[in-house]
Each structure stands twice: as C-alpha cells, then as structure tokens.
A = this chain, B = another copy of it.
C-alpha cells in the first residue's frame, strides 16, 4: 500500500467496562478505515503497521471502572484495546522514528495504529533475536521483571525468593535473574506442566501448583522453612496473605500485580499485614513506566544473557488479530503456555 492510502482497519474493541470474569464476548471485532499518513498538525505522531501484539494481565485492570483500578487513560469503551506490540513505521512526524523502523511500545489492537503517545515507543536496534521477544522478554514484561527485581527487591546472593505467577512473562524472568544472582528460588504456577517446566527448563529450585494447595501458609512453610526474603508478587489476595506470614526479618515484597483479584469488584481482604511491622517488611508497589530510563542498561544485560543461553524464554504464539480475545481470556484461565503473543502480520 502507498503512504497516504485509505485502507480498512480491523480492530478488537472492548464493548464496555467489565466486572467479574473477563469473557471473549466482552470484546468484538470491528472494521474502521485509516489513512496511512500522519495527519497534518499532529506532527509528532507515528503511523504504524502492527506485527505482533501482546496479551498481558495488566490489561484486565484497565477494563475495570472501579476506584482503585489502573488509571484508565489508555482505555475507552468502544475503542480498540491499547496494549504493547511490535510494529513497523509507515509514516512518522517524530524525529526519532522514520519509515520502516521497527518499534515496540503502546499501540492498538488493530491492523494499523496512529500512535500519539510516543514517549513509550522504543526503536528496535537488535534484530538478531526474534522480533516477537519485543512483546515480552525485551519489552515491558522483561523490564518489569528486571527493574522490579533489581530496583525494588534489592536482592542479595543467597536470599530466599518466592515468585508467584512464575510461568508468566514476568515471573519466568524474575526467577532466572534470581538464580543468576545465586538466590534460592521457588515459583508457583497453575498446572503440573508449568511446574515441571519451571524446574527443568527455567532452573527454579522448586515450584508448586497453587491449585493443588489447600493451605498456602503450610505450603510456603514447606518450601521456605527458613522464611522468605523476597516475594515477587503478581497475584495478591490469599497468596500474599500467606506470604506475609512467612516473611523473614527485613523482607521485601515487590507488588507487581494482583491477578487473583481482577475478577472481583470488591477485592478480598488481606489479614496478615501486622507481620510487616514485626518483621520490618517493605511492601512496594511499582510500575515499569517509572524505570524506562534504564532500558539501555537492561538491554546491555539481557542481549548477552539471551545469546549465551543463560536466559531462556517460552512464548505462546497464536495467529491473527481475531485470536486476541481468546488469547487474552486464556491468560486468566492459567492455560497459556508462556508469554501470549498474537501475530497480526509478519512484516
């Protein structure tokens, strides 16, 4: 297609704010038209063709309208879902991006997007790793793991580290970084297959299937008889409550997400907070956006790790824009088998 051409643009639209479990029927396909050119008077925008789109748990948070949800500046009912992706620049009004550049960052769940919020758009320089990695390992989830672990958890060699949602894009990497530092690492996940892979492929010392554990406190005591120094928490709720009972003196909890709570309009109560006083625990919420200035340093660490095989990575790739709703819903079923990526176009 030629720059400036008006083309049809298939989109995945969320019908309205969602309460309770997210269902595929909360989303629908729509077709709009788009002119493949940055509009006059919007000179800093970038027009892209989306190649790989990413399904991430945080998107569920954007679909809630209740107080305490993520800022919903990214989500408006009736518009295409906003999410991370890898894209190719077709036209640019921004000096940092030019035609044919490959980029990753916030884009839309559609074939073509006009990106105006270019502050979270990154040009891809290293193309000797799979491009799809820039939806996960080398983009927001990877940076979340890296900065959450190193900047928030302040880890030390030999510490006891617990990672929930360990098979997710973030958890996989947190566990591997912790092992590379010399920590003892236990992960929780939602199936036997994931638990096995955590131990055999990702090098976790131990892993358990939380769905088979009735008493999380007893479970954590079994895996951490000496207690937990660092809890990298992506689930919140009952597992957080149990972890609080098992923290060691001066332990740290990085609050990364609360995936167990997203389906509830009123989140479950956490009862064991008194332990943060007796054990002098620091609980710190963080969002990766505050750390994007560290992205070059992150790449300097990660690219060699990937090339040397010190970091491995599992993707769950499906084909076609139409598969996004089912891929997103599958995230919350525990059935995805790695970082969920949808291929919209190969180039």
Contact = CB atoms under 8 A, between A and B. Distances in A.
Interface of A: 61, 67-71, 236, 240, 245, 255-258, 261, 266-287, 290
Nearest to A261: B274
A269 B244 CA distance: 13
Given A236-B273, A267-B273, A270-B270, A285 B290 contact: no
A245 to B, nearest CB: 7
Given A277-B286, A278-B71, A269 B266 contact: no
A148 to B, nearest CB: 11
Given A270-B269, A283-B282, A284-B282, A67 B245 contact: yes
Nearest to A276: B285
A266 B276 CA distance: 16
Given A282-B283, A283-B276, A287-B280, A266 B258 contact: no
A257 B236 CA distance: 22
A258 B285 contact: no
Given A256-B277, A280-B284, A282-B283, 13 more contacts: A61-B274, A67-B245, A68-B272, A69-B278, A236-B274, A255-B276, A267-B272, A268-B271, A270-B273, A276-B283, A277-B285, A279-B285, A281-B284
A255 B236 contact: no
B284 A276 contact: yes
Contacts of A275: 68, 285
5 contacts: A70-B278, A258-B277, A277-B285, A280-B284, A280-B287
For the complex of A and B, the 10 pairs showing the least CB-CB separation, nearest first, are A269-B269, A276-B285, A277-B285, A283-B283, A282-B284, A267-B271, A270-B270, A68-B274, A255-B277, A281-B285
Given A257-B277, A284-B283, A271 B269 contact: yes
Contacts of A69: 274, 278
Contacts of A268: 269, 271
A182 to B, nearest CB: 26
